[in-house]
Amino acid sequence: MYGKGAARKGGKTQYTTIKVRLEPTAEQAELFEKTFGCCRYIWNQMLADQQRFYAETDAHFIPTPAKYKKEAPFLKEVDNQALIQEHNKLSQAFRVFFKNPESFGYPHFKRKKNDRDSFTACNHVFESGPTIYLTKNGIRMTKAGIVRARFHRRPQNGWDLKRITVEKTRAGKYYCCILYAYAAEEPEPVVPAPETTVGLNYSVSHFYAADDGSTADPPRWMKQSQEKLVRLQRRLSRMQPGSQNYREAVRKYRLLHEHIANQRLDFVHKESRRIANAWEAVCVRGDDLGDIARKLVYGNALESGYGMFRECLRYKLERQGKPLIVVDRYAPTARTCSACGLVRDAVGLKEDLWTCPKCGAAHRREVNAAKNIKAQGLARYFGSQERRVSA
C-alpha cells in the first residue's frame, strides 16, 4: 500500500503493520475496558444526533466528541484521541455510504454483545517527544502508560509510528496493531512471460490448483483443530447454559476458534509469500466466494481463507513490481478445453476428469481451469498494455 505523503519527497510512502500481544496490568485492562465503552457510547450518541438533525433539517451533520463531555464526564477519563478517531470513522462510514450505497450499508449502532472491542489512537510528535512510542518491553500509550507487550519483530530504522489500534478478542486477549510509514523506492515493473507466470484456480477439495498440476492443501493440524472444534461444539450443545462447565467450555471454544484463525492466517501468509517470490505474475479469477458458498452443499468457501489469500498475493506482488491479473469471474474456464478452445455446455463439480470431444485431450477439471485462467490473464494483460501504448 502506498500513500500520498511522500510525493513532496519525490518517492513513495509505504505502510506496514506490526501486531503484538499486550499484557496489561489490572489497572490498564480496566482503562482499556472504559475506553471500549466510551468509544461505543460516543459512536451511538453521534449517530443518534446525526439522525435527529437530518430528520429536522434535512442536512447531514455529525457533532464532535467535545459536545458530550459536559453531560458525560466519564469521557474525560480515557484518551481523547480514541474519541476523535470514532468521529473520523463515523464520518468515513457516511462518506462511503453516500458514495456507493449499494456496496456500503448505512452505519448502524454498536452493541457490546456483537461488535468488536477496539479503539484507535494517533501518534503526535511534540517538542517533548511523541505521545506513543515503543520501549524495550512494551508500548507507551496516553493515559495507560507503558503497557507490556510481546514483540515478534521490531520496526526498522526510519519507520514512523502513525497510530495504534488496541483490540480485545472474544477469548479475552489484548492485541495492538501498530501502523508504520516509511519511504520506499518504487519497484521496477516486471513484464511477465508465459514460463514465469502461474495460473491459480480456487479448489473446493484443495485450497487451489495451479496450471502445472500442483495443488495446495491446508496443513493437517488445521484439520485436527477443526475436528476438535466439532467435538467441543457437541459437548457444548449438551450442557446447561449458565453453568460453570458451560462457561468453561465457552472459554475453550473461543480460544480454539482464535487458534484456528491464527493457523489459517499463518498458512495464507506463508503460501502467498512463497508464490510471490517464485513467480513474476499470478493469474486468478475474480470469484465471488459468497456466491460459491451459497451453492456448495458440502464445505464452506468462506472458511477457506482464499479471499484473504488473493489480497495477500496482491500487495506482496505489488511491492515487488509484479502484477496480479484478475480474470472475469464469469469466464467459462472450467468447461473450456485448454488445448483446442472448445466450450462445453456444462461441467459438474463431481466431474473431475473429462475428455474433449473435439480434440480428445484428457483434462482434470480444476487444472484445466487454471490453464485457461493463465491464458486469458496473459491475453488480458498484454492487451491492456497495447491499448495503453496506443493511447
Mean pLDDT of the 321-329 span: 93
User: What pLDDT digit, counting tens, does each position of 79-118 carry?
Assistant: 999 999 999 999 999 999 999 998 899 999 999 887 789 9
* Beta pairing partners, 363: 354
Per-state percent for the chain, helix, strand, coil, to nearest 5: 45, 20, 35
User: What pLDDT digit, counting tens, does each position of 122-149 carry?
Assistant: 999 999 899 999 999 999 999 999 999 9
Q: What's the gap between Cα 157 and its chain centre?
A: 26
* pLDDT higher than threshold 90 for residue 305: no
CB 317 within 8 A of CB 323: yes
> Buried (b) or exposed (e) across 340-349, using 16+ Cβ within 10 A?
eeeeeeebee
Kindly give the residue spans of alpha helices, DSSP state H, lying in the chain.
26-57, 80-99, 220-237, 244-278, 289-295, 306-318, 365-390
The CA-based diameter of the chain, rounded to the nearest angstrom, is: 79
| pLDDT value at residue 391 | 58
CA distance 166 to 118: 5
Kindly state the cell numbers that stand for 184.
520506499
User: What pLDDT digit, counting tens, does each position of 262-300 carry?
Assistant: 999 999 999 999 999 999 999 999 988 877 777 776 666
CB 139 within 8 A of CB 147: yes
Quick one: what percent of the chain has pLDDT higher than 90?
65
**10-14, 247-251, 296-300: the lowest-pLDDT one:** 296-300
Q: What's the gap between Cα 239 and its chain centre?
A: 35
| pLDDT value at residue 232 | 92
* Beta pairing partners, 355: 362
CB 335 within 8 A of CB 322: no
Give the global pTM.
0.83
Q: What is the DSSP letter of 204?
A: S
Mean pLDDT of the 53-60 span: 92
Relative to beta strand 197-202, strand 281-285 is parallel
By C-alpha distance, which of 374, 262, 259 is closest to 323? 374
By C-alpha distance, which of 322, 367, 80 is closest to 211? 367
* Beta pairing partners, 150: 21
| pLDDT value at residue 387 | 63
CB 162 within 8 A of CB 122: yes
Domains of the chain: 2-184 (no CATH), 194-218+274-390 (3.30.420)
| pLDDT value at residue 205 | 82
| Band (349; pLDDT cuts 50, 70, 90) | low
Instruction: Name the average pLDDT for the chain.
Output: 89
